[in-house]
């Protein structure tokens, strides 16, 4: 039983340690990513301004603004299309869920075994108590019978 409890504690601690490391890594990466995003937006704004000024010489100011809006719309459409395919696949997630479910089933099986063993031990202890009670009664009877014979 101590082995099973150790397994459960180890599983819980390992899960917490993994989540802690993942959270700290995500926070650090997110900080850098946020700063990079700010710089990217500044660069994109300057690129839009440069494009607008270049188109303004060839087109009217309204035409230049329209051309830059069209270029930005194409970029947004492309990024939205790419975002649908980004990240781990659904198969990967399903596999991870399956592994997690198997681990939980194994732990549940171990817990059920421990529960059955505890119930067996409890019934054995109860039976031993009943036997001791009967033996005590028999010993009292024998002692009283021996005491009367003297």
What is the 3 state secondary structure string of 2-31?
A: HHHHHHHHHHHHHHHHHHHHHHHHHHHHHH
pLDDT in tens, 69-108: 888 899 889 988 888 777 667 777 677 778 777 877 887 8
Q: What is the pTM of this model?
A: 0.44
- How much helix, strand and coil, in percent to the nearest 5, is found in the chain? 95, 0, 5
pLDDT in tens, 24-66: 888 888 888 899 999 999 988 898 888 888 888 888 888 888 8
| 12-23 average pLDDT score | 82
Q: By CB neighbour count within 10 A (0-12 exposed, 13-18 middle, 19+ buried), where does 21 fall?
A: exposed
Query: Alpha carbon of 19 to those of 12, 16, 24, 25: distances in Å?
Result: 11, 5, 9, 10
């Amino acid at each position: 039983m101590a082995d099973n409890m150790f397994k459960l504690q180890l599983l819980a601690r390992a899960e917490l340690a993994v989540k802690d490391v993942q959270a700290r890594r995500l926070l650090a990466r997110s900080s850098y990513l946020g700063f990079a995003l700010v710089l990217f937006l500044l660069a994109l704004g300057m690129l839009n301004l440069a494009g607008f000024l270049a188109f303004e010489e060839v087109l009217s100011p309204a035409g230049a603004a329209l051309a830059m809006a069209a270029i930005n719309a194409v970029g947004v459409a492309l990024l939205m299309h790419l975002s649908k395919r980004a990240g781990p696949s659904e198969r990967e997630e399903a596999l991870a869920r399956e592994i997690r479910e198997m681990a939980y089933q194994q732990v549940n099986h171990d817990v059920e075994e421990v529960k059955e063993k505890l119930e067996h031990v409890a019934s054995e202890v109860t039976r031993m108590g009943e036997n001791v009670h009967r033996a005590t009664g028999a010993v009292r009877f024998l002692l009283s019978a021996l005491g009367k014979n003297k």
